[in-house]
Chain A
Amino acid sequence: MDELLRDFLTETHENLDVVDVELVQFEREPNNREILAKVFRLVHTIKGTCSFVGLPRLEALAHAAEALMGRFRDGMPVTTDAVSLILSTIDRIKDILDALEHSAQEPPGADDDLIGALDRMAERAAAPAPAKAAPAERRDDSPLKAATLRVQVDTIEQLMTMVSELVLTRNQLLDIARRHDDTEFKAPLARLSHVTVELQERVMKTRMQPIGNAWSKLPRMVRDLAHELGKEIDLEMHGGDTELDRQVLEQIRDPLTHMVRNAADHGIETTAERNAAGKPGRATIRLSAFHQGGNIIVELSDDGRGLNAERIRAQAVTQGIVSAEEAEKLGDAQVHKLIFTPGFSTAAAVTSVSGRGVGMDVVQNNIDEIGGTIDVKTQRGRGTTFTIKIPLTLAIVSALIVECQGERFAVPQLAVVEVVMSETNAEHRVEPIHDSRVLRLREQLLPLESLRTLLQPAPLAPASQEDGFIVVMQVAGRGFGIVVDQVLHTEEIVVKPLSAKLRQVGLFSGSTILGDGSVILILDPNGAAAAVGVPLETTSITIERAAETKSEAEQPVSLIVFRAGSAEPKAVPVALVTRLEVIDAREIEQSGGRAMVQYRGSLMPLVSLSAAATKREGRQPLLVFIDRGRAVGLLVDEIVDIVEEPLDIKVASRTPGVLGTAVLGGRATEIVDIGYLLPQGFEDWFRRKDMRADALGRRVLFVDDSAFFRTMLVPVLQAAGYAVTTASGGHEALAIVQKEGRFAAIVSDIEMPEMNGFELAEALKSNPRTAHIPLIALSSFDTPPTLQRAREVGFRAFIAKFDRERLIAALSEPAADWVEAA
């Protein structure tokens, strides 16, 4: 196929996807001239290119569609029939393009049917008001074009492969350098190392594509389905510009499409049913994507009928997935997860189980393959939310290197909760129950298996009582432990897929080459979970039940545990840390009495927790915090672990920079106050040029019962220029408002003892003096009923805790409508 034709095909495909989306939008807003102009221009471009490349069939179709759209422009009323006709024309164009792609020729055939219909519709409109011929737009394509370059995907893939090799070679060199002290290539090697990291990031960046690319066909699909099924459905899409690795994007495109189709088809009730249930006739499917602590979260929620736990339970029993007794014991949340079980979905399920089980195991499978997880939350009659969590990049991940019987394996950090020692008398006890062993870890009982046994199944392996390290992992909410002989270190590894012959093994998800050149296998957390025997939630029911009733203060928070300055462990929430970096200590420069380092092309200030002198050489780990384009590095001695635990600050601290002490992994750990540390990096942290002039001096009341969140978020608000008053509960907040009056906004937690956020909002709204104050809800619970309730009691926005940017954005938009960013 010649270059010209290939370019034409790529461009036209992209244009058509846009036309699809825009037309659906246009149908809803027929008076929006802007959309019409855009669609018209695109179709015109397609027509123009077709005639230029010499494709008469396509040209004729595009011409007829363009003519009809010209009538719209002249004021012909936009009807569903007319839009449908144009959409079918676009489908025909796509068919022809597909054939063109295969044979490099327009397929034979006639389009008189469509062209005739288009013409007739255009004439009908033209009859009353003989319109002038559609004025051809002669505008040339956008001048932006020169700034971008079309590159074959293969080229990028090859580049990525080469960069991976470069990373490996670099690791090997570093390994050699470590073994030979005092070599003259240390300095150039450090430079090479940095250039490699930079190159790797840039190349990965080129592979990134906005997730919106995978969504482009959805509006059209939902529109068609809604028409077909007699439903009214709005598809809302948020965060379409969130970027994903191209490979990952390809993997989730189909699952997402499938899930949106399911939502429209089965999740949403008919308009009549909705009306009968007292819900608005028009349903909403919301798709959103955003970053969260090193992951990309894709959420799909609908306000439809929700999953029917009873019917899923019955179906699962019928299909032999769980026994009737087991099904009885399962909580609803666990029953909902049964829809992901392989084999659950059958054609029968389509009609009998609200249909939502269809193909969900396939969805789960695709998501597994990219190392992601999927979860579902639902409420009868209110709707369903699916949450897909995807690791940011596939090719390079952080892994824990462990040893078992002299062989090393990599365990992806993403799945590791913590590492504990197994000793017979320790507080984490390993206890036998018949043939199996469990780990008693604080309040949990976790199934336990040694890696040795997994690698060499019985009867060969004796069930030994070995002491070792237990890697506690969690997959889809299920915890389990794997006993290994040694935990060596963590390393950023380049994931190499296993060859087809080895994928069937199931226990491994890939392999990688370590710095010393040896190949090791990457343990697949999902495969390990299955091998340990946790296919369902049954094993950890008690734990999950307990967790469900926990209050928010006990909700687990992901924390990075590190050492800095002293032997005591310290921790900060992962959500606040942008990156973990390791630099060569010799690169630290002193400037004006401050430590700085060159970081991504600019100088990054470094702060430390102790006055002790910083290292002069060697590896220097850093936690990098980036807040609106400004980076600050916190010097630490060693990153110990990432744990997920309820954050319960037992002892408040008087030391500046430390919030207090909490017990993490059984050890007293200091929780570091980032709000205190960061301003040390920039003297002007609180007097920034980008501080919002409109925010200056505006008073905000911040209500939260958790001292941790108060301390964490107040500096953020202050940094944005607000004057912040805090209250630790609803009653205190009311008293402050009564006494001090004018607040520009009140930001309140929802889950609080005595008077919760809803009650506070109701109290404020019922008093005419305070009813006008904008309210913003802050919560980590975002179930549809919570959102609904928040909206009802008068909150203007709903923000997830830790989402500083959205919080600031919500505060600065005085007239904003309901904002949901939880």
Chain B
Amino acid sequence: MIEHGDIEYVTVTVGTQTFGVPIRRVQDVFQPERLTRVPLAPFEIAGLINLRGRIVTLIDMRRRLDLAPRDPGTRPMAVGVEQRGESYGLLVDAVGEVLKLSAESRDSNPLNLDPCWSRVAAGVHRLEDRLLVVLDVDKVLDVKVDALAA
């Protein structure tokens, strides 16, 4: 799908990289508490939490992007998204500001990007001081298929 005009992104940090989640997909941003681990679940799934009576499945973006585990002392943040009526949360290190970026200025994924990353990335924006990788929420949530492909 080709998008035109300005798109708003919620910026998040995972490891040292800045990512952008399209704001129209973002339900809320929250600090997850009392995580329930799901034994036998795919590796990327951090667990379940109760968010105001809703059960949210959390995906650990560090695991999703094949990064080292978070320092146990730090508290991650979560970006709430929905897919087919189900609630998910993307576990990230920090949530930043909202940026309005022009769709025309987005570059496609660099060819040498780690396949694990390029599967979930939908292009790159050149910001003044850094690069912002756009996350394709549906591909991020496509945990099962990736697990099979791996």
Interface residue ranges, A against B (CB under 8 Å): 164-165, 168-169, 407, 455-457, 496, 498-502, 504-508, 511, 513, 517-521
Bound Cα distance from A385 to B61, whole angstroms: 52
| CB–CB A518/B38 < 8 A | no
A-B contact pairs, 8 of them (CB 8 A): A164-B53, A496-B55, A499-B57, A501-B57, A501-B88, A501-B143, A519-B34, A519-B55
How near does chain B come to A173, taking the closest CB pair, in angstroms? 13
B residues within 8 A CB of A168?
53
Bound Cα distance from A518 to B50, whole angstroms: 7
A residues within 8 A CB of B34?
517-519
A residues within 8 A CB of B18?
none
Bound Cα distance from A502 to B41, whole angstroms: 6
B residues within 8 A CB of A519?
34, 36, 48-50, 55
B96 at the interface (CB under 8 A from A): no
- Per CB-CB distance, the 9 closest pairs between chain A and chain B, nearest first, are A455-B39, A165-B53, A499-B57, A519-B36, A499-B86, A519-B48, A496-B55, A505-B40, A519-B50
| CB–CB B42/A501 < 8 A | yes
How near does chain A come to B79, taking the closest CB pair, in angstroms? 16
| CB–CB A407/B37 < 8 A | yes
B residues within 8 A CB of A517?
34, 50
How near does chain A come to B60, taking the closest CB pair, in angstroms? 12
B residues within 8 A CB of A506?
40
Number of residue pairs across A and B with beta carbons under 8 Å? 65
How near does chain B come to A100, taking the closest CB pair, in angstroms? 27
B87 at the interface (CB under 8 A from A): yes
B residues within 8 A CB of A164?
53
B45 at the interface (CB under 8 A from A): yes
| CB–CB B53/A169 < 8 A | yes
| CB–CB A500/B39 < 8 A | no
Chain B residues 84-99 with CB under 8 Å of chain A are 84, 86-88
Bound Cα distance from A456 to B84, whole angstroms: 30
Contact with A along B35-72 (1 / 0, CB 8 A): 01111111001001110010101010000000000000
A residues within 8 A CB of B38?
502, 505, 508, 521
B residues within 8 A CB of A407?
36-37
Chain B contact patch, size range: 20 to 34
How near does chain A come to B43, taking the closest CB pair, in angstroms? 11
The residue that A499 contacts in the complex, of B39, B50, B88, with Cβ under 8 A, is B88
How near does chain A come to B37, taking the closest CB pair, in angstroms? 7
| CB–CB A520/B55 < 8 A | no
B141 at the interface (CB under 8 A from A): yes
A residues within 8 A CB of B41?
501-502, 505
Bound Cα distance from A511 to B53, whole angstroms: 12
| CB–CB A507/B40 < 8 A | yes
A residues within 8 A CB of B86?
499-500
B residues within 8 A CB of A507?
39-40
| CB–CB B53/A513 < 8 A | yes
Bound Cα distance from A498 to B40, whole angstroms: 14
B residues within 8 A CB of A504?
42, 144
A residues within 8 A CB of B53?
164-165, 168-169, 513
Bound Cα distance from A97 to B84, whole angstroms: 28
CB-nearest residue of chain B relative to A514? B50
| CB–CB B45/A455 < 8 A | no
The residue that A501 contacts in the complex, of B37, B40, B50, B144, with Cβ under 8 A, is B144
B residues within 8 A CB of A496?
55
B residues within 8 A CB of A455?
39-40
Max chain B CB contacts within 10 Å: which of A165, A457, A500, A520?
Answer: A500
If the complex has contacts A499-B57, A502-B57, A521-B36, are A513 and B50 also in contact, measured as CB distance less than 8 A? Answer: yes
How near does chain A come to B13, taking the closest CB pair, in angstroms? 24
Max chain A CB contacts within 10 Å: which of B48, B49, B86?
Answer: B48
| CB–CB A499/B87 < 8 A | yes
Chain B residues 103-145 with CB under 8 Å of chain A are 141, 143-144
CB-nearest residue of chain B relative to A405? B39
B residues within 8 A CB of A456?
39
The residue that B45 contacts in the complex, of A502, A518, A520, with Cβ under 8 A, is A502
B residues within 8 A CB of A511?
36, 48, 55
B residues within 8 A CB of A513?
50, 53, 55
Bound Cα distance from A223 to B110, whole angstroms: 64
A residues within 8 A CB of B39?
455-456, 505, 507, 521
If the complex has contacts A511-B55, A518-B34, A519-B55, are A500 and B84 also in contact, measured as CB distance less than 8 A? Answer: yes
Max chain B CB contacts within 10 Å: which of A165, A501, A507?
Answer: A501
CB-nearest residue of chain A relative to B57? A499
Bound Cα distance from A164 to B45, whole angstroms: 25
CB-nearest residue of chain B relative to A520? B36
